[in-house]
Amino acid sequence: MASWTTEERRILKTLNSPAKIQDFVNALRFRIVGSNETCSSPRRVLHDREAQCVEGAVFAAAVLRFHGYRPLIVDLVSTNQDQDHVIAVFQIGGYWGAISKTNHGVLRYREPVYRSIRELVMSYFHEYFLQSNRKKTLRSFSKPVDLSRFDREEWETGEEPIWYIPEYLTTIAHTPILNRSQIARLRNADSIEARMTEIEEWPNAVL
C-alpha cells in the first residue's frame, strides 16, 4: 500500500486524539450528496478539505489507524425514506466512542463512554428522524468493519474513488434495533427537536 507523504504525515501527527480528529473533520467543508456525488479516499479528503459522511468516517478511520487504533467504521441504516449514516468508531479503556461527519447539529461526535456498539448506536436513535414529518427512522446497524480488509485497494492513499467501501456495507449483516410493536409505538420528535436539525454547520455546502 502506498505510503503517506512527509507533508501528509506532518498533518496526521497533529491529529493525535479522537477529539482532534473530530475537530479536523468538522472543519472539512461538507459536500452534500447529490448529482456530483463522490467517494474520495482519505488522501483526497486531506488534500481537497471537503467530505460527505462516508468520506469523513473513512478519513477518520485512516487517521485513527495512523495513531495505532484499528480502522473501524459502523454503518447506521435508516428506513427507505431517510439516509443511512456511517461513523468511525474507536475504543479507549474498553469503552466505545465515535467520530462523525454531518452538516447538522445532531448525529455528531460521541465520547468513549459506551460499553458496546449497540449502546453507542442507540445514542443516535432519538436524533435520527425526518425533518419533514419528525418520524424516527434509525432501524439497524452493522458490526464494526475493519477497513484493513481493503488494503490491497489502497483505500487510504489511493487517488481513485473508494465506492467499494459503501458498496460492501450494503452486503453485510445488520442488527435490527426495533421490533414491529416498538416501531408502531414510536413517538414523533417534537417541534423543538425538529428545530435543532435546521442548524447547519455548512449552510452553503457543495452541491
Q: Which triple of cell numbers denotes residue 151?
A: 488494503
- Report the alpha-carbon distance of residue 4 to residue 39 in Å, rounded: 19
Report the sign of the C-alpha dihedral through residues 127, 42, 205, 80, in that order. negative
- The reply to whether the predicted model has a pTM over 0.85 is yes
Q: What integer pLDDT is reported at residue 206 of this predicted model?
A: 53
Residue 179's contacts (CB-CB under 8 Å, 6 or more residues apart) are: none
Q: What is the mean pLDDT of residues 79-89?
A: 94
Q: Sorting pLDDT into bands at 50, 70 and 90, what band is 35? A: very low
Q: β-strand 50-51 against 29-30: which pairing, if any?
A: parallel
| CA dihedral angle for residue 183, residue 184, residue 189, residue 191, rounded to 10 degrees | 160
Topology (CATH level 3) of domain 6-196: C8orf32 fold (3.10.620)
Is pLDDT above 90 for 38?
A: no
Q: What integer pLDDT is reported at residue 207 of this predicted model?
A: 42
> Rounded to the nearest 5°, which phi and psi values hold at 101?
-105, 115
Residue extents of the structural domains in the chain: 6-196
Q: Sorting pLDDT into bands at 50, 70 and 90, what band is 203? A: confident
Is pLDDT above 50 for 24?
A: yes
Q: What is the mean pLDDT of residues 68-73?
A: 98
